[in-house]
Amino acid sequence: MNENVVITVLAAVILFLICGLAGVIIYFTRREKKFAGSMEDMLEDAVSGRFQEQHLDESRMSVIENNMWRYLCDHERKISRMTKEREQMQEQISDISHQAVIPISNIMLYSQLLEEWTETQNPEDRQNIRDALTAIGEQAETLDFLIESLVKLSRLETGIIRVNVRKQPLQAVLDAVRNQFQAIAAQKEIQLEVTDTGEMAAFDLKWTIEAVANIVDNAIKYTPRGGNVTVRVQSYPSLVRIDIADNGPGIPEAEQAKVFLRFYRSETVSDSPGVGIGLYLAREVMRAQNGYIKLSSKIDEGSTFSLFFMKEEMSQK
């Protein structure tokens, strides 16, 4: 009888222990699921931009949850601070641009007035004044171009200006380049050949015209009188390429990677006007719209800049 009682008691104890163990396992399993769900919700809110800093009830949250929450709160504050700083930078850039336009416009205006005044002077003084005014005008135009380019670069690099990429015909870019540079090339007796195309690509029209125009401008600038500059389009299965080729002096191999650096100026073209921004801006524009630029060049044979565009739109993040 005593043995049966002992066995019954032991069985009851074992059953109790099994139930207790099962309860502990269920408790920690549910707690783990709740913890994972809480972490997942916080991360999803942070990724989607819905995360908001709230009061923490530390008595009900684990240390890891607490630390993750605080990390996300700090991250959200940093993002908010960066957004405010970007807005302040945009205001400063706009202010600098506005402040610079007025004196440059005044310089050009007074130069024109002085040029009209020179007509009343004797021929010898008239020529000297005209030479000085020409120099002033050229420097004012260079300063205007430099400030405008720096403003564009600053806005592009800080994300203040975002490219609006959409699939559209490349012919609009070619037409803009032809209209802008046909007369300039003719003045230098350079044959500018822009071949029409029916190809489509994903790009921002305004910024792509800016990028291609910078390269064409360089090609005309550095190609000797009587040379040739061609703009052609080549299609691939997933890409479209615009080639801007010239038969100018070419770029040494050692400098080909450097020409895309901001403010880089090769010693071989130091006598020509320029500030070393155009190619850098073109590269940044192409990067911003999921494209890239390639350069091939040989000394005394010329250079070809190839701009590669995606045929289809990609998500912009």
Instruction: Assign 3-class secondary structure to 27-65.
Output: HHHHHHHHHHHHHHHHHHHHHHCCCCCCCCCCCCCCHHH
Residue 307 DSSP symbol: E
**Does residue 173 carry a pLDDT above 70?**
yes
296 against 20, higher pLDDT = 296
Q: What is the pLDDT of residues 208-228, one digit of tens each?
A: 998 999 999 989 988 999 999
> Could you tell me which residues come within 8 angstroms of residue 312 by beta carbon, excluding any fewer than 6 positions away?
167, 202, 238
pTM of the predicted model, to two decimals? 0.59
Query: What is the pLDDT at residue 275?
Result: 63
Tokens 């005209």 map to which residue? 130
Distance CA 118, CA 124 (A): 10
Average pLDDT over residues 125-138: 74
**Residues 6+ away with beta carbon under 8 Å from 142:** 273, 275
pLDDT for res 58:
47
**From CA 229, how far away is CA 220, in angstroms rounded?**
7
**224-243 burial code (b ≥16 CB/10 A, e <16):** eeebbbbbbbeeeeeebbbb
Q: For the chain, what are the domain ranges?
A: 2-80, 95-157, 166-310
pLDDT of residue 59: 45
Pick the CATH number of 166-310 from 3.30.465.10, 3.30.870.10, 3.30.565.10, 3.90.79.10: 3.30.565.10
